Amino acid sequence: MSDMSTKWEDLPKKYETLAGRALTTAIVHDEVEPTCHPLREKNKFVISPGLLAGTPAPSSGRLSVGGKSPLTGGIKEANAGGLTATRLGKIGIRAIVIEGMPDTDDWYSIVVGKEKAEIVKTNDYAGMGLYDLIEKIGEDYDHRPGIIGCGIAGQRLLKSAGIFGNNIENTDPGRYAGRGGLGAVLGSKRIVAIISDDHGCDTPKPKDEDKFTEGRKALAKALNNHPVTGRLEDEEGNPYGGLKNYGTNILMNIINEAGGLPTRGFKSGRFDHAAKVSGEAVHELVDKTNKKFGDKAEGKYGHPCHPGCVMACSNIVPYEDTGKAHVSPLEYESAWALGTNLEISDLQDVAELNRLCNDLGLDTIEAGNTLAMLMEGGMIDYGDGPAAIKALKQAYDASSPLGRLVCSGAKVVGETLGVSRIPVVKGQSLPAYDPRAIRGIGVTYATSTMGADHTSGYTIAAEILGVKGKVSDPREIEKAELSRNFQATTAYIDSSGYCVFIAFAILDDDDGFNGMVDTVNGFLGKEIDVAQYGLDVLEMERNFNKAAGFTNKDDRLPEFFHTEQLPPHNVTFDVPPEEIDKVYEDM
């Protein structure tokens, strides 16, 4: 961006097996100075579709973006669905690397396609709400392109800014690689959007087509038959697949019953009104509005987040009074962060907060925890949905101090308001599982290279939902091995292009796991060890963070988790530092 040039490069041999998170991590590790300022010219913004993106492998259209995080100060990868990974996979692009920064007040977009890469001045795209932006880009580029970029928050270089992506209908910018403030990194490059058009391109071909095809069939069978990831209905017409029917927000009532649902800014593990903002509530609302408004109703469940997704855990939440689309999707993390965490139990208020985040370009987890800091600091009352909406709307006003503050992250706002209970690790807000009640996820929060991040090592699959019918005791304190194994496997999945939610099926079904491995190996034409691949990714990330100044002392939860008991089970996070340090003791 310093000289407005584009250059195509052949994939270096050392990166031939890398894609998605593995490739964003490798490029940032190899090319970015760990101590650089994340919002200046030495940082890079890297985009990489997962290895299998664009192929017929089921649920494999995930995209990774990476760079040095302005929120954590360490390495960051964030992951999302949408259209872009599939488009880039078919174009044949393994990565886009954006470096430098222009000495100008102009704004730009990058347009890529078959044998095309252009930097286009698009000042008319800047400062727009993202619902309007994707509509405008859809009019300017008529082949339903993939669109990712940063919104108002990222253009103002604010730390809660995520990377948005358009949904498959190009009606909602809600496919977010939300975490780590990477929207601000893209904004620092003066880029609003990256537009990818695969018109005239072909589906990527595996090197061992037979192995790939057999693996694809085995994985698809495992996903369709599993009660979490499976089909919409059983043979009797009853709801079957949990994710298709209730979305990721099926977890709301489950985690509430486990006493691990963070409520009122992590003061309790149970919310009396959790059911009102749950996946079941959305399912009921969709059925109700479909019945009332018929063909005019726009609510959905069982909605795919990217082409070829067979789990279809996304949804479209309708307005109750019109049946028209309100927001898509309302994920568990968003319903928690903007609902339970704030003691807001009105589903329409939660949907509106989610829509505002989508429009502004904000990570919902960081935004929800930031609003909680406003409540902890006495600026808003807990449970006041309209007041939270009003505060978030201030972000549209460039001259509003509150508007800037509410987009700056929980750590900044908490410290500004004198709050002592700030739920962050390495500067990034905790997601929707209280570590006092579920210790393994707490170890992941503490040790993840990304700051507090549930998707880095989703031990909930073992601790709450069970693997092969066996639940790992969530109160057990020896969780280092569990967290490490989940973190390594997740790094592999994030690199493959598969959605991390395939983990439910592949951990329960050996044929499904082998199918996943065979698709990757068949595509590459070589054998890859899952655990070692993931550990290699983690080691690069750990090395970057060490060079940036991180030590074991940064792998810790905030003090209040150790000292304040969490109702209803009145437990603290008592995993000793020695156990936490075991996760990466040999790295």
> Tell me, what's the pLDDT at 582?
98
3 state SS of 444: helix
> Tell me, what's the pLDDT at 34?
98
Helices H / strands E in the chain, number of each: 23, 14
Every domain range in the chain assigned CATH 1.10.569.10: 234-433
Handedness of CA 27, 32, 37, 41 (dihedral sign): negative
Every domain range in the chain assigned CATH 3.60.9.10: 13-196
Q: How far apart are CA 304 and CA 1, in angstroms?
A: 34
How would you classify the pairing of strands 191-196 and 108-113? parallel
- Region 21-40: what's the mean pLDDT? 98
Instruction: Name the band, by pLDDT with cuts 50, 70 and 90, for residue 576.
Output: very high
> Is the pLDDT assigned to residue 467 strictly greater than 90?
no
Instruction: Name the band, by pLDDT with cuts 50, 70 and 90, for residue 442.
Output: very high
Instruction: Name the band, by pLDDT with cuts 50, 70 and 90, for residue 511.
Output: very high
**Cis amide prior to 568 (ω within 30 degrees):** yes
Give residue-wise pLDDT tens across range 272-302: 999 999 999 999 999 999 999 999 999 999 9
Query: Is the CATH code 3.60.9.10 the one for domain 13-196?
Result: yes
Contact 39, 56 (CB under 8 A): no
Give residue-wise pLDDT tens across range 515-560: 999 999 999 999 999 999 999 999 999 999 999 999 999 999 999 9
- Region 576-584: what's the mean pLDDT? 98
Query: Is the CATH code 1.10.569.10 the one for domain 234-433?
Result: yes
Contact 419, 376 (CB under 8 A): yes
| Residue 192 Cα distances to 54, 95, 123, 164, 239, angstroms | 24, 18, 9, 10, 41
> Tell me, what's the pLDDT at 142?
87
> Tell me, what's the pLDDT at 469?
84
Residue with token string 């919902």: 364
> Tell me, what's the pLDDT at 59?
97
| Residue 223 Cα distances to 220, 244, 499, angstroms | 5, 11, 12
- Region 421-433: what's the mean pLDDT? 98
Q: How far apart are CA 77 and CA 113, in angstroms?
A: 24
In whole numbers, what is the pLDDT of the chain averaged over residues?
Answer: 97
Residue with token string 């059983």: 234
Instruction: Name the band, by pLDDT with cuts 50, 70 and 90, for residue 135.
Output: very high
Closest to 162 (Cα-Cα) out of 145, 149, 171? 149
Q: What percentage of residues in the chain have a pLDDT greater than 70?
A: 100
> Tell me, what's the pLDDT at 35?
98
> Tell me, what's the pLDDT at 143?
87
> Tell me, what's the pLDDT at 443?
98
The residue type of 244 is: K
> Tell me, what's the pLDDT at 94?
98
Give residue-wise pLDDT tens across range 223-234: 999 999 999 999
- Region 245-270: what's the mean pLDDT? 98
> Is the pLDDT assigned to residue 468 strictly greater than 90?
no
